[in-house]
Amino acid sequence: MLTNTGSERVRSVRALSRRAVRERTGLFLAEGPQSVREVVAHRPDTIQDLYFEAQTGPWQANLLEAARAEGLSLHEVSHEVLVAMSDTLAPQGVLAVCRPMDVPLDVVLGRPARFLVILTNVRDPGNAGTVIRGADAAGADAVLLSDSSVDIYNPKVVRSTVGSLFHLPIVTGVPVAALLDRVRAAGLALLAADGSGDTLLGEADLARPHAWVMGNEAWGLEPEVRAACDSVVRVPIYGKAESLNLAMAATLCMYQSADAQKRSRHSIKSVDIG
């Protein structure tokens, strides 16, 4: 068991909370049972080390059994060491040191896609993580983040995805203009999500392949980004709320896409059968 909170290993793990260290080492933290369970189940190849605090809960026994079956490097640590390693004040018994999983844009666009999500200049870790989680739940084919958006390996982003980070392809580090040009060239319509849009969400053509373009939490989409999109879509507000936050609006848009795509596939099958 590791008990020395001042050891070099402990300090190096804790340092992964800083972006500069993550970029230099090519490693990041996945903390808590949900995130670690999902990375073990779906991307065990990315795990360098897994640290756990001795507990008796059945969730941990199942998690460690799965980790051992994958041949992962496991290290039991004291509660004090886990606290010293973690980005949170109250760690939940387990964390993993992982390698990044960025997918090249060429790979994503080389596959048939029904709908994608593009985040331009999204800076808030909680919003970015929640959008990734929503994209996973709605069945998006990938999430693409511009080079000016938050680092998806920020511990707050990783926690906010609740494991969805390990489920779907994510592209990072591409300039906004290049993202839009490449996605359009791949045959997808670009739909800007903006509260001042002329097209209501329920009226948008979401049966065709498309990509939602989401802007910054504070100032929305830049004029040149709006102009580069095929249409600007707004989520209607029927009550007295001034607006919706980014993650909420994005989730509504993505579920509308999922529903339209599902109805479109059902219609094609019905025609084929008939």
CATH number at residue 62: 3.30.1330.30
pLDDT tens figures, 119-176:
999 999 999 999 999 999 999 999 999 999 999 999 999 999 999 999 999 999 999 9
Is pTM beyond 0.75? Reply is yes
Q: What is the pLDDT of residue 273?
A: 47
Residue 2 lies in a domain: no
- For the chain, the domain total comes to 2
Residues 213 and 144 in one domain: yes
Residues 268 and 148 in one domain: yes
Domain of residue 58, residue span:
8-98
Instruction: Supply 207's token pair.
Output: 């049966």
Q: What is the pLDDT of residue 266?
A: 59
Residues 139 and 232 in one domain: yes
Domain finish residue from 47, 73, 98: 98
Q: How confident is the model at residue 26 (pLDDT cuts 50, 70, 90)?
A: very high
Q: What is the dihedral of CA 222, 190, 148, 173, to 10 degrees?
A: -160
Residues 133 and 113 in one domain: yes
- The angle that helices 125-138 and 246-273 make with each other, rounded to 10 degrees, is 10
Residues 178 and 127 in one domain: yes
**Separation between Cα atoms, residue 62 and residue 54, nearest integer Å:** 13
Q: How many CB atoms lie within 10 A of CB 265?
A: 12
Residues 190 and 110 in one domain: yes
Residues 115 and 236 in one domain: yes
Residues 160 and 75 in one domain: no
Residues 156 and 216 in one domain: yes
What is the DSSP code (8-state) at residue 203?
A: G
What mean pLDDT is predicted for residues 248-253? 95
Residues 256 and 194 in one domain: yes
Domain finish residue from 44, 73, 98: 98
Domain finish residue from 98, 128, 152: 98
Residues 6+ apart with CB under 8 A from 267: none
The answer, yes or no, to whether residue 63 has pLDDT greater than 90, is yes
Residue 1 lies in a domain: no
**Separation between Cα atoms, residue 202 and residue 204, nearest integer Å:** 6
Instruction: Output b/e per residue, 175-204; b: 16+ Cβ within 10 A.
Output: ebeebbebbeebebbbbbbbbebeeebeeb
**What does each C-alpha distance from 33 to 50, 60, 128 come to in angstroms?**
11, 8, 20
Residue 3 lies in a domain: no
Beta partners for residue 52, in sequence order: 76, 94
Query: What CATH number is given to the structural domain containing 187?
Result: 3.40.1280.10
pLDDT tens figures, 212-236:
999 988 888 999 999 999 999 999 9
Tell me the Cα Rg of the chain. 21
Residues 6+ apart with CB under 8 A from 265: none
Residue 22 lies in a domain: yes
- The angle that helices 33-42 and 58-69 make with each other, rounded to 10 degrees, is 30
